[in-house]
Amino acid sequence: MAHSASNQKLTTDVLVIGTGIAGLTAALKLAQSHSVILLAKSQVTEGSTNYAQGGIAGVMDPFDSIESHIEDTLDAGAGLCDLKAVTVVASHAKEAINELIELGVPFSKHRAENRHNRFPFHLTQEGGHSHRRIIHAADHTGFSVIDSLIKAVKQNPNITLLPEHISIDLILNRKKNRCLGAYVLNKNEQKIYDIAAYFTILATGGASKAYLYTSNPDTSTGDGIAMAWRAGCAVGNMEFNQFHPTCLYHPKDRSFLISEALRGEGAILKLPNGTPFMKQYDSRADLAPRDIVARAIDQEMKKHGVDCVYLDISHKPEAFIKEHFPTIHQRCLKVGIDITKEAIPVVPAAHYTCGGVVTDLEGQTSLKGLYAIGETAYTGFHGANRLASNSLTEGLVFAKMASQSIEKAFSLLSATDDFDAIRSWDSSRTTEPSEKILITHDWDEIRRVMWDYVGIVRTNDRLKRARKRLRNLHKEINEYYRQHPLTSDLLELRNLLMVSELMIMSAQRRKESRGLHFNLDYPHTHKKAKPTILRPK
């Protein structure tokens, strides 16, 4: 078991930061033979995985093929996917999904009269997929997966679960280019701990909270990406932030995702007057990849001067809708929309960070002892646009790859006295701020700047303006950070600013339009695709 030491120090074999599908899976695998501390900066369930409705992509049907999954992923990634990364994920997806089935995740099954012997579970199809290969638990897949994983974690005596603990920065041995754990703030006690670990895994999710409108929970502030950057790690493809085409547009509920699975089952996007419009943009119409659909909606809203468009599945039988989409049906009813009888008002919203901390195909960063998995990492898997339901698959597969790599590394680990040299966090020179309006004001300003200038459609002038505005905030926020005691809000603001700057810097480097990055000053796509890699100076 992990154990405490003097001076508010903890030591463990492995520190896992983040309790989404990637972090929980890695913790469970490594806890079979090692002590693990597992950090959640809020409640254990409060991560993006919990809100994932659609499902997990993997080749489970004998009429489908791994080659087809690879091809669909490459196509959606607009030429920027790393073929090796795509092959690793597509090849290991079935095994990872089967482990969840064995864990007891209640995936939806075919009705008895439609059940085939070859595979009892219902598979759906989503935009960009050429086959039905999305296994799901109705429309609450993420919740069901997280529920099963957390139950297993809580039963494992080798895992110390610490909710309401937010990481501040990584503990480093600069001479050895090694990560030794992290400094962590206990939000409830307002105490700072040094957590020493032989191996640290960043599984903190993405950074879509950088935008004013997002489908993500409040926890998606890019903490792992920002910490890794400050520690000297490279980041890749941060300009590619996916906007989910269909987020509920309603004054009482603006962050609820309307799953792509609706369009997979026949829902149609329409203008307020009831006219379908997606065929004008792509031959696949409503089943086109997300970047195409999000830009189409954005263009139609601007062209017609409307606040939203509508997603209509009311032509399907009422029983079908209630069976396949119970969560969406109930959530919409709460705000007065009956999706069995009327269309759903929707707008695009920031949804998924395709870039992140550069790692190899085992999740290793350039810093010894530090791994990054899931949405925090850039492996080259997603390229310039994520294919629907590939995210949970990636989290599962790279959790396994990182765990296997760490197991091997433990066998080669020599005795170290590095932990004894760790300096405790010093906050003795800080003073309480006279007012805290700066944090809330700067938080709002960052998100509005990103939404207005670094959104679905960009220009050089917009990016330049955004960079200038955030550069001014950078000095102000860093001064505040040095002078005052740490709080969760301050740490998230600092990280959000960092990842926002990385997104802008990456977007300015790309002199073309590709996938999720569309710049009106560079509307064409280069013949040769290259990732955008930024390295700290």
CATH of the domain at 342: 3.90.700.10
Last residue of a domain, one of 328, 349, 370: 349
Strand partners, 160: 37
Per-10-residue mean pLDDT, the chain, length 537:
56 96 97 96 78 84 94 95 98 96 90 62 86 88 92 96 96 93 94 95 96 86 97 98 90 80 93 96 90 89 90 96 93 95 94 96 97 98 93 97 96 75 81 79 93 92 96 92 91 97 98 95 96 95
Range of the domain at 332: 245-349
- Would strands 9-17 and 191-202 be described as parallel, antiparallel, or unpaired? parallel
DSSP secondary structure string for all residues of 198-242:
EEEEE-----GGGSSSBSS-TT-S-HHHHHHHHTT--EE-TT-EE
CA distance 450 to 470: 9
Query: How far apart, in Å, are the Cα atoms of 396 and each of 15, 130, 243, 360?
Result: 18, 22, 23, 16
Last residue of a domain, one of 349, 369, 389: 349
Residue 420 placed within a domain: no
Per the listing, tokens 């995985």 go with 49
469 catalytic? Reply is no
Together in a domain, 22 and 120: yes
Residue 375 placed within a domain: yes
Together in a domain, 451 and 478: yes
Q: Which of 118, 133, 263, 290 is catalytic?
A: 290
The per-residue pLDDT for 203 is 97
Together in a domain, 101 and 8: yes
Cβ-contact 223, 39 below 8 angstroms: no
The per-residue pLDDT for 257 is 85
In total, the chain counts a number of residues equal to 537
Nearest to 80 by CA among 288, 394, 380, 506: 380
Last residue of a domain, one of 326, 349, 372: 349
Cβ-contact 384, 514 below 8 angstroms: yes
276 torsion bin: left (phi>0), alpha (psi -120 to 50), beta (else): beta
Domain of residue 515, CATH code: 1.20.58.100
Together in a domain, 376 and 341: no
Together in a domain, 497 and 364: no
The per-residue pLDDT for 428 is 76
- Other CB atoms within 10 Å distance of the CB of residue 485: 13
Structure tokens at 164: 């309401």
Q: How many domains does the chain have?
A: 3
CA distance 138 to 141: 7
14 torsion bin: left (phi>0), alpha (psi -120 to 50), beta (else): beta
Residue 491 placed within a domain: yes
Residue 321 placed within a domain: yes
**3-state DSSP helix/strand/coil % of the chain, to nearest 5:** 40, 20, 40
Together in a domain, 64 and 182: yes
The per-residue pLDDT for 466 is 97
Cβ-contact 244, 257 below 8 angstroms: yes
Positive or negative: CA dihedral 511, 377, 133, 249: negative
CA distance 513 to 122: 37
Residue 408 placed within a domain: yes
Residue 428 placed within a domain: no
Structure tokens at 322: 């209630």
Together in a domain, 127 and 114: yes
**Cα of 316 vs its chain's centroid, Å:** 32
Together in a domain, 363 and 284: no
Could you give the count of Cα atoms lying within 13 Å of 267 in the half-sphere of its Cβ? 31
The per-residue pLDDT for 254 is 67
CA distance 504 to 240: 10
- For residue 512, with 0-12 CB atoms within 10 Å meaning exposed, 13-18 middle and 19 or more buried, which class applies? middle
Together in a domain, 167 and 229: yes
CA distance 225 to 233: 9
Domain of residue 169, CATH code: 3.50.50.60
Collapsing DSSP to helix, strand or coil, 499 comes out as helix
Phi, psi of 488 (to 5 degrees): -60, -45
Together in a domain, 62 and 185: yes
Could you give the count of Cα atoms lying within 13 Å of 367 in the half-sphere of its Cβ? 31
Together in a domain, 216 and 257: no
Residue 431 placed within a domain: no
Sheet holding 268-270, edge to edge: 241-248, 344-353, 309-312, 268-270
Together in a domain, 193 and 101: yes
Structure tokens at 248: 């509920």
Residue 46 placed within a domain: yes
The per-residue pLDDT for 216 is 84
Q: Residue 227 is which amino acid? A: M
Structure tokens at 179: 């990560």
